[in-house]
């Protein structure tokens, strides 16, 4: 089990905002995730207009199902929401093989992270976010947190998996990742 690096979210959101200027960005998360995932605070700093939604599981699912565009974490909860949506046009996903099985009628872009080894099982013990003594209270040891935050954006790899809606999602163009990094000061 692993979560994508911060660079994935920053580039995916920035590309989306380039395609859909002025669109609203929601960071939908369970309340404990603000303690568990170090990316949330950075995303709020980089995208101050992003709205954080922390509600009940049913309300979060409702919000996800209403979305036209989703950037997934590595989560079966968000992935399952793609099955219930009638309005979904695009999904941007970390390497999440089940997303390919859905054959859903939306555009799918998938990112991989060569050399990224922030595997939770390796660092915190299989199935455990915070019970090992070497893991800090927030669920991530320093090495894992540092990898999530510091993964270089230029190492992201993007692949268009499906094209059903007609260009509602895309990979970064040549040089766009560097432009995003410079523009956002990331």
Looking at the domain assignment, is residue 20 inside a domain? yes
Q: Is residue 137 part of a domain?
A: yes
Establish if 186 belongs to a structural domain.
Answer: no
Are 152 and 7 a contacting pair, CB within 8 Å?
A: yes
How many Å apart are CA 77 and CA 64, to the nearest integer? 10
Q: What is the CA radius of gyration of the chain?
A: 16
Backbone angles phi, psi at 124, to 5 degrees: -115, -5
Domain assignment of residue 87, yes or no? yes
State the average pLDDT over residues 9-22. Answer: 92
Residue 52 lies in a domain: yes
* Residue 36 falls inside a structural domain: yes
Q: pTM here?
A: 0.82
pLDDT in tens, 152-178: 999 999 988 777 777 778 889 889 999
- What six digits make up the tokens of 146? 């540092």
In sequence order, the β-bridge partners of residue 109 are 92, 160
Does residue 106 contact residue 82 with C-beta atoms inside 8 Å? Answer: yes
15 domain residue, yes or no? yes
Q: Is residue 1 part of a domain?
A: no
Domain count, the chain: 1
How far, in Å, CA of 37 to CA of 181, rounded? Answer: 21
Q: Give pLDDT tens digits for 78-115.
A: 888 888 888 889 889 888 655 555 566 788 888 988 88
Question: Taking the C-alpha atoms of 100, 89, 62 and 97 in order, what is their torsion angle to the nearest 10 degrees?
Answer: 10
pLDDT of residue 97: 59
Token pair for 182: 């410079």
What domain range is 56 assigned to?
6-181
């Amino acid at each position: 089990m692993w979560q994508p690096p911060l660079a994935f979210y920053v580039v995916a959101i920035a590309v989306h905002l380039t395609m859909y200027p002025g669109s609203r960005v929601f960071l939908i998360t369970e309340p404990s995730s603000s303690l568990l995932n170090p990316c949330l605070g950075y995303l709020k700093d980089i995208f101050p207009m992003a709205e954080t939604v922390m509600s009940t599981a049913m309300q979060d699912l409702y919000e996800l199902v209403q979305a036209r565009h989703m950037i997934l974490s590595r989560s079966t909860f968000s992935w399952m929401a793609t099955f219930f949506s009638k309005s979904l046009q695009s999904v941007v996903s970390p390497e999440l093989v089940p997303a390919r099985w859905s054959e859903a009628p939306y555009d799918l872009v998938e990112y991989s992270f060569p050399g990224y080894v922030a595997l939770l099982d390796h660092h915190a013990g299989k199935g455990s976010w915070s019970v090992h003594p070497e893991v800090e209270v927030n669920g991530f040891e320093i090495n894992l947190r540092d990898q999530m935050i510091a993964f270089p954006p230029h190492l992201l790899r993007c692949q268009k998996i499906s094209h059903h809606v007609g260009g509602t999602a895309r990979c970064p163009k040549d040089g766009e990742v560097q432009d995003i990094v410079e523009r956002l000061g990331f």
